[in-house]
C-alpha cells in the first residue's frame, strides 16, 4: 500500500517524541499490509469526519487517513483524540 503524507501530518509527526515516532513508524509498516488492519483497529469515522478512517498507534495516539484509491491512502493527521476535532 502506498502512503501519501500531507504536510500537516508531517508537521504533527515531527513534534512527537523520538520514542513515539519509532512506535508510529512500526505501526505504519504494519498498516501497509491490509491483513494487519484488524490488529490496528482500523475503523471508519462518523460525523464531520465521515468518509475518513482511523487506526490506533497506542492507547493514546491515532492516525486519521483517507483512501485515495484501493492501493493508496493519504495520512491526514496524527495525535491524541483531539485529531477528531479538526
Q: Can you give the pTM of this predicted structure?
A: 0.92
49-83 pLDDT per residue, tens: 999 999 999 989 999 999 999 999 999 999 987 77
Number of residues that make up the chain: 86
Phi-psi region of 76 (alpha: psi -120 to 50; beta: other; left: phi over 0): alpha
Residues near 5 by beta carbon (within 8 Å), at least 6 away in sequence? 13, 74, 75
Question: Which residue in the block uniquely carries the three cell numbers 497506542?
Answer: 58
Mark 14-40 as b/e (b = at least 16 C-beta within 10 Å). Answer: eebeeebeeebeebbeebeeeeeeeeb
6-58 pLDDT per residue, tens: 999 999 999 999 999 999 999 999 999 989 888 999 999 999 999 999 999 99
The superfamily CATH assigns to domain 2-85 is RelE-like (3.30.2310.20)
**What are the helix (H) ranges across the chain?**
7-14, 18-31
pLDDT for position 57 = 95
Amino acid at each position: 500500500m502506498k502512503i501519501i503524507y500531507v504536510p500537516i501530518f508531517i508537521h504533527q509527526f515531527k513534534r512527537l517524541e523520538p520514542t513515539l515516532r519509532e512506535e508510529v513508524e512500526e505501526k505504519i509498516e504494519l498498516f501497509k499490509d491490509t491483513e494487519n488492519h484488524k490488529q490496528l483497529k482500523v475503523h471508519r469515522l462518523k460525523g464531520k469526519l465521515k468518509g475518513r478512517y482511523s487506526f490506533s498507534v497506542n492507547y493514546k495516539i491515532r492516525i486519521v487517513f483517507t483512501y485515495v484509491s484501493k492501493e493508496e491512502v493519504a495520512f491526514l493527521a496524527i495525535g491524541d483524540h483531539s485529531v477528531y476535532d479538526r
